[in-house]
Amino acid sequence: MRNDIIGRTYECERLEACLNSTQAQLIVVCGRRGIGKTFLIDECFDRKFAFKITGACKQTKDIQLYSFAAELIRKTGRKWKTPKNWAQAFGYLQTYLTQRSELEKQIVFFDEMPWLDTRRSVFRPAFERFWNDWGSARHNLVFIIYSSAAAWLDKTFSEKGGLFNQQTCRLSLKPFSLHETECFLHSRGNTWPRDEIAECYMIMGGISSYLKALDGKYTPAQNIDRLFFAPHGEFRDEFDHLYNALFPNSPLHIRIAEALSTNRGGLSKSEICQLTGISDNGALTKALAI
C-alpha cells in the first residue's frame, strides 16, 4: 500500500484493512467526477488487478460485453467469445478467478460500474447473483466498485435490492481541503504564494483533475481564463460533461440548478416549478432527492 498519497490517509487505511481481511470484500468507492477515485484505487493496489474493466459512457451493452471479453483475453492470453449477456459474462469471470491461485488475493475492479448497467442490460441482477451465490464466499476476493453516480449506488444497495448489507466498505471521497490543495500543488512543482493558492481554491475547489491542469507559470486568473474560457479550453464544456456523467436525466438537473442559482436563500419546490416550467411530478421529486 502507498503511504504518500496526498489527503487520503483514512481511505488508504480502510483499503489496506480490506486487503488484509480473511473474508470476501465488496468495496464501494464514490465521489464526483474528477476527484481522483480511479487514481486512489490504482495506486493503493499498485495496479495489481486480477481483472479490471471500465464502463464506457452511453455505449451499448454489446460494446461493453466486447470490452469485457477483450480484458479476459488480455489477462489470460486465451480466446474468449464475447458473452451474450451479463449473466454469461459473470460466469466467465467466475471460471477465470476459480482457475487462479486461492493463496493470492484476487482483486477485481469495476470502474464506473453504472455505465455498464445500460437500459435493459439486466446487468444488476447478474452481478447480484454472481456476488451472492459465489463471490461472497471467496475468502481471497476483493471486489471494488467505483461510481460517480451516488444515486445508482443507493438504489443498488438499498433495502429492496439483492445486495443490501453486502458491501463491506463504502468510501465517499471529498475534495481536498485548502491545506491538502497546497500540498498537492507543491508536489507538482507549483510555487504560488499562499494568497494565490487560496484564490485558486475558492474558484476551483479541491478537485484533483482541475488542480492537475494548473500551470504554475501563470497566475490563477490566467489559468482560469485559458482552461475555462479560451476557445479550446480544457474545461470549457465541463459544466455539461459533469452533469451528464452524474445524472441520467441531466437536462432536468441543469434546469433546477440554474433556477437555484438565482436565489442565495434557496427556493421552494413550487418556486422551482414556476421558474423552470417543470411540472410538479414524480420526476421532479426524484431529481430533488438526488
Domain identity same for 153 and 258: no
Tell me whether residue 168 is exposed, middle or buried, using C-beta atoms within 10 angstroms of its C-beta: 0 to 12, 13 to 18, 19 or more. Answer: middle
Domain identity same for 104 and 135: yes
Q: Is the dihedral of CA 266, 31, 14, 25 positive or negative?
A: positive
Domain identity same for 101 and 183: no
Domain identity same for 99 and 145: yes
For the chain, the straight-line distance linking the first and the last C-alpha, in angstroms and rounded, comes to 34
Torsion over CA of 91, 172, 227 and 201, rounded to 10 degrees? -170
Q: Each residue of 240-279: pLDDT tens digit? A: 888 877 777 788 989 999 999 998 888 999 999 999 999 9
Cα separations (Å) of 73 from 67, 79, 82, 93, 111?
Answer: 10, 6, 10, 11, 18
Q: What is the mean pLDDT of the chain?
A: 91
What pLDDT score does 272 carry? 93
User: Is the pLDDT assigned to residue 162 strictly greater than 90?
Assistant: no
- Beta-bridge mates of residue 107: 142
pTM of the model: 0.84
Domain identity same for 103 and 161: yes
Domain identity same for 145 and 60: yes
Q: Each residue of 22-65: pLDDT tens digit? A: 999 999 999 888 899 899 999 999 999 999 999 998 899 999 99
CA distance 37 to 30: 7
- Beta-bridge mates of residue 169: 27
DSSP string covering 17-33: HHHH-SS-EEEEEE--T
Domain identity same for 184 and 108: no
Domain identity same for 164 and 195: no
pLDDT band at 80 (very low <50, low <70, confident <90, very high): very high
Domain that holds residue 193: 178-229
249 membership: H or E segment, kind and range: none
Q: What is the CATH number of the domain that holds 106?
A: 3.40.50.300
Q: How many domains does the chain have?
A: 3
What pLDDT score does 214 carry? 94
Torsion over CA of 269, 274, 276 and 279, rounded to 10 degrees? 70
